[in-house]
Structure 1
């Protein structure tokens, strides 16, 4: 499926690392591994705001028989050195530390969030707000802040992020009165959960969210079930957006009939339409190390989001090699589109995605695609 507007708006070459939060903290050279997975919202002035994940990596992580990673520690960014013979470096995004009874890994980059302001149609960059970057500030974020997802609920903007550390792999909440200046609220989920998305509106006075807890063990559905066991999109409710209770009914689950969504997770914060809550989510087909990431969509009942009104098993977005061809020398993964933001623009939606874990992609999708 092709759309009238589908382009890369921001990438590694657009980042000024001299203005990075890491600048001047150590002597080793860094580069932008990816500028991707942008949260998206509309500001009061009509412009769009992306919160872009900047994965800043060491230019030469392997040296002197060790592989190195960046870590925040008490207001400073430092380098740790791991003996190379203890590590598996097959995945360019991380390395595994061998020897334990469970998987232990460290990242080859540290992520922080950069606000990038766009024109109202998302076609051009207006400003890059380095002075409003969101970076690690506590030990539970020592390996970075990742994948901001922005929801406007009434007169307040809420942004969930993934905070990474040896202490926990948690979901953290930021809030803003203008969509640009962000205030840290709290840890809101204290387990590994990469995709918490707050609905853009309350239901019967309650905040709702999609969550996606992960683990290494899943229980089987009975033989012949239409569902596939594994990661799925769950639901939670809250009176204040800080204290969350899991919703007892399941959310969106993987279908047994297709391997393309064998693993799945949330993409964009659900947005209310006349036909229910529109949610874009990702499905992952197993392939090599990373897999094939595609974007799908579902409509949820406006009063009971556990009820899926309509969905489509055909992908809405797939990786677009023609978009990343000018960045071929920077590619380190392929077959990945990871949709992270949506804004209503009248006859169409403006959708923001991370393309190839490398750059930010903006797509205009007519509402007719969803039957709206």
Structure 2
């Protein structure tokens, strides 16, 4: 087993790999990106927020596209994939018949998975009647076919990189506020024959089972398939009521520390958790993680296995930048401890 004090991932020296200065439109942050391998290189879909740093305007959130040959240096496309206008054109007819275009607020937090040569996009969709999770498919990262939009309140959706027993598999994090009355939210799993119809919803991991946090948990990046199981990131939150962790937000304090966690799921039945790391996979240490729009935030969005068994984890730092940390597959698997 990996010793408790040994860092499982190492940050690359030139972090962050993407920040607001790299974006060709006005923004105050770039973070929570999804990353995949594509046609001999890498693609990234990322979120940007715009407006005053202390209170960004949710109507100005965009999803952009970047490309890389090596996964380290990135080139950003001049035009976003989704902004307010492009989003409403794309979703025309989904809401407009009854509530009008003002029902749709924004699309954000993209996660991307390549399955059978096509790219699938999971995203969060803010509406005036709740947060919903969406799923779309594309062959070029620009033109998307909408497959599914969940009921409220749901977000942080993540899709497995291949079918399991002929079914698409998805992780979700719903917000059962009426029952919980606190932020102890969990990770659920479901399946679909086609990406449109989803069912067989099961609780995958309860927040109380993640020892690297004391509050809510949720999916991180799409899992990596290994001989021992599906290696799967998640985010976990520790609430520090007596510590102000720093935020640019106006007239607010920030008490939530986000870390990356790691679990292993059964290959044939991913609803079974084989094990979990007791320590965080990555915890805020660097200035770009400890500061920013929200301090002490690490949010995994991309998880890539290379041919030499190096694992790349792309993550949002401080809800402000995109960063990258790396580790070895064997060490990550060795860190897993049985959960049940």
Distance change in 2, residues 1:257/1:357 (3 Å): closer
Distance change in 2, residues 1:151/1:141 (3 Å): farther
Partner of 1:298: 263
2:45 matches 1:48: no
Cα deviation digits, residues 212-244 of structure 1 (max 9, x gap): 110313369xxxxxxx99310001110101211
196, 215, 232: which one pairs with 2:186? Answer: 232
Partner of 2:10: 3
- In structure 1, C-alpha distance between the alignment counterparts of 2:255 and 2:286, rounded to whole Å: 16
Distance change in 2, residues 1:257/1:277 (3 Å): closer
Q: 3-state SS of the aligned residue for 1:194?
A: strand
Cα pair 2:156 2:172 within 8 Å, conserved: yes
Report deviation, 1:8: 0.9
Cα deviation digits, residues 245-278 of structure 1 (max 9, x gap): 142x420112268472421000011221111111
Q: Which runs of 5+ in 1 are unaligned?
A: 18-30, 60-91, 95-106, 221-227
User: TM-score scaled by structure 1?
Assistant: 0.74
229, 232, 245: which one pairs with 1:276? Answer: 229
- In structure 2, C-alpha distance between the alignment counterparts of 1:5 and 1:298, rounded to whole Å: 23
Partner of 2:250: none
Q: 3-state SS of the aligned residue for 1:319?
A: coil
Partner of 2:3: none
Q: 3-state SS of the aligned residue for 1:368?
A: helix
Partner of 1:365: 327
239, 242, 246: which one pairs with 1:286? Answer: 239
Cα pair 1:229 1:254 within 8 Å, conserved: no
User: TM-score scaled by structure 2?
Assistant: 0.80
Partner of 1:192: 153
Cα deviation digits, residues 87-144 of structure 1 (max 9, x gap): xxxxx457xxxxxxxxxxxx55631110011222x2212x212345223224377321
Distance change in 2, residues 1:250/1:215 (3 Å): closer
Q: Which is higher, the Rg of structure 1 or of structure 2?
A: 1
2:24 matches 1:16: yes
- In structure 2, C-alpha distance between the alignment counterparts of 1:188 and 1:281, rounded to whole Å: 22
2:117 matches 1:169: no
Cα pair 1:111 1:143 within 8 Å, conserved: no
- In structure 1, C-alpha distance between the alignment counterparts of 2:264 and 2:103, rounded to whole Å: 34
- In structure 1, C-alpha distance between the alignment counterparts of 2:188 and 2:102, rounded to whole Å: 24
Q: Which runs of 5+ in 2 are unaligned?
A: 1-6, 92-100, 242-253, 335-340
Distance change in 2, residues 1:108/1:4 (3 Å): closer
Partner of 1:213: 174
- In structure 2, C-alpha distance between the alignment counterparts of 1:11 and 1:146, rounded to whole Å: 17
